[in-house]
A and B are shown apart, each in its own frame.
Chain A
C-alpha cells in the first residue's frame, strides 16, 4: 500500500526520488516518511519553520549526516535510479555528483584558485593545466572570473561576502555535478548580493538539478519551480511553486506562507 502510493506520487524520470525516507538522531525522529522527487533543470525550494528538518533533509541527499554520531536512516534516496544509501556507494563519488553550498560562505584562507581546486584534487585531478582550465571555467560559470581580473591567485578571504558565496558555488559545480544543494545560501548576504545569487541559480538551472532551503518566502516564490513545505520532520505539501503559493491544499501550508505559522 505504502509502496504503491510512492510509485504513484513520484515520476520515474525525476533526477532524485526520495522514497519513505526516515532519519533519526539517536532516538529523535527528525525526518518522517519523506516521499518526494526533484526534477532535472528545475529549482526546488524547501520551506518550513525553524527546526522542521530542512537542513537535515538536504544533508541526507549528499550523506553529510553520515559522520554524526547516532544517526540512522531508513528508506531510499535514488539518484538516477541508484540508491545512494545502498551498499557499495562511494561517498566521495556521490559528493562529486551532488555539490553543496552552506549558509555562511565556507571560504578557506587560501587563494581563490585553491578554494576551487581543492574539490578537484579530492577527486584525484592533479594535472596543472586541467586544474586551471576547470577552475577558470567554474569561476566563469558563476560570473566571478571577470571580477577577479584574471587573477585567481588572490586571497579568497578578501572577496566580498556575496562573491565568497559565488566562489563556494563555483567549487560546488567544479566537479560537474548533477545536483546542487543550497542551504539558505543568501541569509548572510545583502539584498543586492542575494539577487545576484538568485540570477545565478536561474542560469545554473539550465544544467543542474537545484535544491534550495530558504526562510525567505519571496525568494521561494520568485526563484523556484517547485516548493516543498515541511513541518516537524514531515512533508506537508509539495508541488509547482505557483500552486503552493496561490492555492495551497493544506491549511498548515497556507498558514505558514501567509505568516500565521512562524
Chain B
C-alpha cells in the first residue's frame, strides 16, 4: 500500500522534472527565435549568412566570417582530437593492462572537469607564444584555437570510444587470435569496424563540444571579424561573436546576435540529426 504510494509520488516528481526541463528548453528556443527573427527579417537571411562584413556601428551584419571561422576551428580541433583520442582509446582498450587502463582513463576523464578558462589560459601562455615564435603571425589564430579545442575534446573522444571498444565482444578477439592475427590486425580488421557506430558517436559529441566552446576560444583566437586566409590568421567563431558583444549591444545589434544564436541552433540540430542517423545506421548492420 505504502510502497505503491511512494512509487506514485516518485513518478509524479520525475514527470514534473522532465516536463519542467522540456518547458525550459522550449522557452529558451522560443526566446532566441523571438529575439533573433526580426533581425533576420530586416537584414535578410542571405545577407546575414553570406555577408562578409560585420560592422555593428554601421549596421552591417554579415556572419560569413564567423561561420567559416567556426567550421575551420572545429575542423582543426577534430583533426587533432579524433586521431589522438581514438589512438588513446585503442591503446587503453586493446594494449594496456586493465589496471593501467582504468588509471589512465580516469585521469583523462579528469581533464573534462578542468574549467575551459583554464584551457584558455594555458593556450594563451603556451600555445599562442609558441605559434608566434615558430610559425609566425600574431599567434592568436585558427591553429591555436584548434590545438586548445583539440585537447578539450580529448576526454569525450577517449572515454566514449573506449566504451565502444570495450563493448566489442571478447569472442571477436579470440576469433581473430584463432586465425593467427596479431592484436593490431584484430583491431584494424574487426574491432574498429565493430565499434564504428560508437566511435562515430564519440566524434559527433566531440564536434558539438568543439562547436559550442566559447571561453577558451575567445582567449586564443584573436577574434578578428575577417575570413581567415591561413591557419595562422586570427579568427572569430559564432559563439565568440555572441559572447564578445552581447554585453554592450542594443537594438538591431542585439537582435543580430540572437540571430547568430539561431544559426548556431540549426548547426547543432543538424549535427544531432546526423549523429542519430549515423548511430542507428551503424548498429543496424
User: Which A residues contact B (CB, under 8 angstroms)?
Assistant: 62, 64, 67, 91-96, 99-100, 102, 104, 106, 108-110, 114, 118-119, 121-123, 155, 157, 168, 171-172, 175
Report how far A250 CA is from B178 CA in the complex, Å: 34
With A109-B194, A110-B190, A121-B189 already in contact, the answer to whether A94 and B180 are too (CB < 8 A) is yes
Chain B positions within 8 Å of A67 at CB level:
177
For residue B190, which residue of chain A has the nearest CB? Answer: A108
User: What 7 A-B pairs come out closest when comparing CB atoms?
Assistant: A106-B175, A95-B180, A92-B180, A119-B179, A100-B178, A122-B181, A118-B189
Residues of B178-193 at the interface with A, using a CB-CB cut-off of 8 Å, are 178-182, 185, 189-190, 193
Count B interface residues, CB 8 Å: 17
Report how far A108 CA is from B179 CA in the complex, Å: 13
For residue A95, which residue of chain B has the nearest CB? Answer: B180
Report how far A92 CA is from B1 CA in the complex, Å: 65
Chain A positions within 8 Å of B179 at CB level:
95-96, 99, 118-119, 122, 171-172, 175
- Name the residue among A102, A109, A121, A175 with the largest chain B CB count within 10 angstroms: A109
CB of B285 closer than 8 Å to a CB of A: yes
Do residues B174 and A106 form an inter-chain contact, with CB atoms below 8 A? Answer: yes
For residue A91, which residue of chain B has the nearest CB? Answer: B180
Do residues B171 and A104 form an inter-chain contact, with CB atoms below 8 A? Answer: yes
Do residues A93 and B180 form an inter-chain contact, with CB atoms below 8 A? Answer: yes
Residues of B147-191 at the interface with A, using a CB-CB cut-off of 8 Å, are 171-172, 174-182, 185, 189-190
Do residues A109 and B175 form an inter-chain contact, with CB atoms below 8 A? Answer: no
With A102-B171, A118-B190, A122-B185 already in contact, the answer to whether A109 and B180 are too (CB < 8 A) is no
Do residues A106 and B172 form an inter-chain contact, with CB atoms below 8 A? Answer: yes
Report how far A175 CA is from B181 CA in the complex, Å: 13
Do residues A155 and B174 form an inter-chain contact, with CB atoms below 8 A? Answer: no
Report how far A123 CA is from B180 CA in the complex, Å: 8
A-B contact pairs, 18 of them (CB 8 A): A64-B174, A91-B180, A92-B182, A94-B180, A95-B177, A95-B179, A95-B180, A104-B171, A106-B172, A109-B193, A109-B194, A114-B189, A118-B176, A121-B185, A122-B189, A123-B180, A172-B178, A175-B179
Do residues A64 and B178 form an inter-chain contact, with CB atoms below 8 A? Answer: yes
